[in-house]
Amino acid sequence: MNAIVRAICLCAALFLLPLQAARAQAVAGIFSPDHTLHVSVSLDGNGRPSYAVTRNGKPVIGDSRLGILLTDAPKLERNFTYAGAETNHHDHTWTQPWGEESTIRNHYNELRVHLTEMTPPGRRLDIVFRVYNYGIGFRYEFPDQKQLHDVHIGDELTEFDVAQPATAWWEPAGEWNRYEYLYNKTPLDQVSLANTPLTIHTADGLYMTFHEAALINYSSMWLRRVTGQRLKAMLAPSSEYAAKVIRTAPFATPWRMIEIATSPAALYADARLELNLNAPNKEGDVSWFKPYKYVGIWWAMHIGKWTWSTGPHHGATTKHAKEYIDFAAKNGFPEVLIEGWNTGWDGDWFANGKDFNFTQSAPDFDLKAVTDYARSKGVKIIAHNETGGDVANYEAQLEAAFDLYQKLGMDSVKTGYVADGGGIQLRGDDGKIYYAWHDSQAMSRHYLKVVTEAAKRHIAIDTHEPIKDTGLRRTYPNWVAREGARGMEYNAWGDPPNPPSHIPTIVFTRMLSGPFDYTPGVLSLVGKNGQRIQSTIARQLALYVVIYSPIVMAADLPENYAKYPKPFQFIKEVPTDWSETKVLNGKIGHYVTFARKDRNSEDWYLGAVTDNTRRTLPVTLDFLESGRTYTAEIYRDGAKADWKTNPFSIVIEKRQVRRGDKLTLTLAPGGGEAIRFVAGAK
Ligand code: NOJ
Ligand code: CA
């Protein structure tokens, strides 16, 4: 069903007031469908627009400025008059082709405010608000007009003035390591320049996440704290132009969004706001993509056993590839990732992205033979395209490479952009090479170009060193996963490795933005040079339920899985596509428990992780179907398990459970628990 949008008179929800000249004066406002949240839009005596948000009448976002700085014309920020508003009510449910749940309700009230400059040239700007029961989105829309056709945006002046004292979880923006930082937890008034999603907890008990949705042909929004708790948008720079964004009217900016919840668990559920703010699927029938698990020639390089480069320890040889294909076929993994299969890895590949060739195999790797062998075993190969950040080189080869992969039956590509922030090389409009940010407008176009070229050939994309996720999987469902945070690789060689608090922090920050290719399942619990992974073995299993992605790796070496056949059984069985997701409990940075229902059976799965603290978590099995008995296959930390001293201690047991039963999860420091609830007859 298409969206049903009804324009109705929201008499109760809308109030329109005449513009008054003197002080900031509300000109329009709108409530959420349940009347909990309210957004008001004001103009001050100088015609400067602002907005404010209340929840049950209490300020959540104080008066916050709106506006756009232009590089070649006076800024769009003052001298506006209110030229009317329209409202809409929207309520419909849509289906995800794959995801954390099958259906999502999109229910909001919309307010479109028209602003016109009071003096010539009389430029017009619309600001559109969508108010949900659990958050808001708003964006600027540039109407078609002679007065402002080519729009050169120097920056956005959008503010978020948080009304109540708050604690923030945030990572830096505009830094060399892109999105791969541990999150800071500080008072909100100590944030400097932050990426989104940025999550806060207010003194009066609200949890809020600031982020953006539908980042298309635009530069990413960083958040700069200006004074007190006032955050201000700062767009990632362009390296080619003074303007950070260049567009032609009519167009709309990405949505600026704020999730507003009363618990961390609700915050996770409310992240559907981001998907709802994105446009519906533009790719039509995408049933050719099926969520899957994969193994691959990957961890061996990160721990230094094999190399990406050719030589005596080259990982991606035809021989190794066939062994991994055999392992995948034997254990039911549909896909195999192979890194280091192509030419360009020899020498300092970090610095020489220009050497990568995306169709030419390394001398000891026969791509045709490997894909033929995979096909004979019912397995597919994930192509790996590391660009070293040389996007100019990649774009020159993109179409030929994807044609080849399609011809050979490869249906997924993992891309990589290993270059420091600001170090992407791309070709400008003038043909010269520029050094760009991963999250610049030019790169937002590049990442999407890769996705749309892939879609034409029925190829799914998993982006590493990506631009941040803003929910584009709704519109482009073959953009199935990204990295964009510290993944398992940091446990191999990171200094420091990921601490136990990392996962319960990113669940409520990075993971609110979309699927994360974390690459879990390292049951051997050791990285490079003996570096310990700060995890128990049960926690590695729990990650399959806690971290969502439709494609999930079993990252460890086959010989390590052979040592732990019983825990490995859970990895083989756990699905990667869900019809329902519930967050049973959670405290940011400390613990979280998920329950998810398999899309293709009646089974449920549970995953819980904790920080460095041993804890017990009571859970009630009220998500199970009533009238049915389930066999709970429990993988839990042993009584004395501890990631530091006793990480391999695991208890695997079965018991019969029914809806409403209570379980107590017992998590070791750095531990976790995973449960499969196998549905019995009713
Ligand atoms: C960084 C990616 O995150 C990782 O998965 C990959 O193995 C290396 N780059 C090499 O491309
Ligand atoms: Ca990475």
Give phi and psi for 141, each to the nearest 5: -125, 125
Q: What DSSP designation does 365 have?
A: -
Q: What DSSP designation does 625 have?
A: P
DSSP states of 230-292 as a string? EEEEEEPPPSS-SSSEEEESSEEPPEEEEEEESSHHHHHHHTHHHHHHSPPPSS---TT---E
How confident is residue 124, by pLDDT bands cut at 50, 70 and 90?
A: very high
Q: CA-to-CA distance for 417 and 353, rounded, in angstroms?
A: 9
Residue 342 has, within 13 A of its CA and on its CB side, a CA count of 18
- Name the residue with the closest Cα to ligand 1, atom 7: 298
How confident is residue 61, by pLDDT bands cut at 50, 70 and 90?
A: very high
Question: For the chain, what percent of residues have pLDDT higher than 90?
Answer: 96
Q: CA-to-CA distance for 597 and 64, rounded, in angstroms?
A: 41
Strand, coil or helix: 324: helix
- Give the number of the ligand closest to the Cα of residue 344: 1
- The answer to whether 7 and 86 are in contact (CB under 8 A) is yes
List, in sequence order, every residue forming a beta bridge with 406; answer none if it has no partner.
none
pLDDT of residue 1: 34
- Name the residue with the closest Cα to ligand 1, atom 8: 416
Task: Establish whether 386 is a catalytic residue.
Answer: no
Q: CA-to-CA distance for 192 and 225, rounded, in angstroms?
A: 6
- Give the number of the ligand closest to the Cα of residue 339: 1
- Give the number of the ligand closest to the Cα of residue 300: 1
Residue 430 Cα to ligand 1 midpoint, Å, equals 31
Pocket of ligand 1 (CB under 6 A): 298, 339, 386, 416, 418, 464, 483, 489
Q: Where are the alpha helices (DSSP H) in 377-524?
A: 391-407, 441-456, 489-493, 502-506
pLDDT of residue 593: 98
Q: CA-to-CA distance for 14 and 135, rounded, in angstroms?
A: 17
pLDDT(35) > 60: yes
- The answer to whether 27 and 113 are in contact (CB under 8 A) is yes
Q: Identify the active-site residue in 212, 283, 339, 489.
A: 489
Instruction: From the CA of 384, give the closest atom in ligand 1.
Output: 11
Residues in the chain: 682
Instruction: From the CA of 416, give the closest atom in ligand 1.
Output: 11
Across 32-48, average pLDDT: 98
- The answer to whether 628 and 602 are in contact (CB under 8 A) is yes
CA angle centred on 511, ends 506 and 513, rounded to 5°: 135
Across 613-640, average pLDDT: 98
Contacts of 666 (CB under 8 A, 6+ apart): 616, 636, 637, 639, 673
Euclidean distance between the first and the last CA atom of the chain, given in angstroms as a whole number = 33
pLDDT(480) > 80: yes
How confident is residue 23, by pLDDT bands cut at 50, 70 and 90?
A: confident
Residue 495 Cα to ligand 2 midpoint, Å, equals 14
Instruction: From the CA of 483, give the closest atom in ligand 1.
Output: 3
Across 607-616, average pLDDT: 98
- Name the residue with the closest Cα to ligand 1, atom 10: 386
pLDDT tens-place string over residues 540-567: 999 999 999 999 999 999 999 999 999 9
pLDDT of residue 24: 86
Instruction: From the CA of 301, give the closest atom in ligand 1.
Output: 7
* Cα 669 versus chain centre, distance: 27
CA angle centred on 500, ends 497 and 503, rounded to 5°: 95
Across 220-248, average pLDDT: 98
Q: CA-to-CA distance for 636 and 566, rounded, in angstroms?
A: 12
Across 355-378, average pLDDT: 98
* H or E element that contains 373: helix 367-376
Ligand 1 pocket test, candidate residues 464, 482, 552, most atoms within 8 A of CB: 464
Residue 464 Cα to ligand 1 midpoint, Å, equals 7
Across 184-201, average pLDDT: 98
Summary count for the chain: helices (H), strands (E):
12, 40
Residue 193 Cα to ligand 2 midpoint, Å, equals 21
In this structure, the strands spanning 412-416 and 460-463 are: parallel
CB burial of 605-622 (b: ≥16 within 10 Å; e: otherwise) equals bbbbbbbbebbebebebe
Instruction: From the CA of 386, give the closest atom in ligand 1.
Output: 11
pLDDT of residue 222: 98
- Give the number of the ligand closest to the Cα of residue 316: 1
- The answer to whether 316 and 340 are in contact (CB under 8 A) is yes
Residue 483 Cα to ligand 2 midpoint, Å, equals 7
Place of tokens 């329950």: 595
Q: CA-to-CA distance for 209 and 136, rounded, in angstroms?
A: 11
How confident is residue 18, by pLDDT bands cut at 50, 70 and 90?
A: very low
Q: Count other C-beta atoms under 10 Å from residue 118's C-beta.
A: 12
pLDDT(236) > 90: yes
For residue 642, with 0-12 CB atoms within 10 Å meaning exposed, 13-18 middle and 19 or more buried, which class applies?
A: middle
How confident is residue 7, by pLDDT bands cut at 50, 70 and 90?
A: very low
Q: CA-to-CA distance for 573 and 596, rounded, in angstroms?
A: 14
What's the whole-number average pLDDT of the chain?
96
- The answer to whether 334 and 375 are in contact (CB under 8 A) is no
What are the strands, taking DSSP E only, across 19-79?
25-31, 37-43, 49-55, 58-65, 68-70
Q: CA-to-CA distance for 536 and 554, rounded, in angstroms?
A: 16
298: nearest Cα among 319, 318, 321, 332: 321
Residue 416 Cα to ligand 2 midpoint, Å, equals 8
221 is written with which tokens?
């929004």
- Name the residue with the closest Cα to ligand 1, atom 6: 416
pLDDT tens-place string over residues 388-429: 999 999 999 999 999 999 999 999 999 999 999 999 999 999
pLDDT tens-place string over residues 424-467: 999 999 999 999 999 999 999 999 999 999 999 999 999 999 99
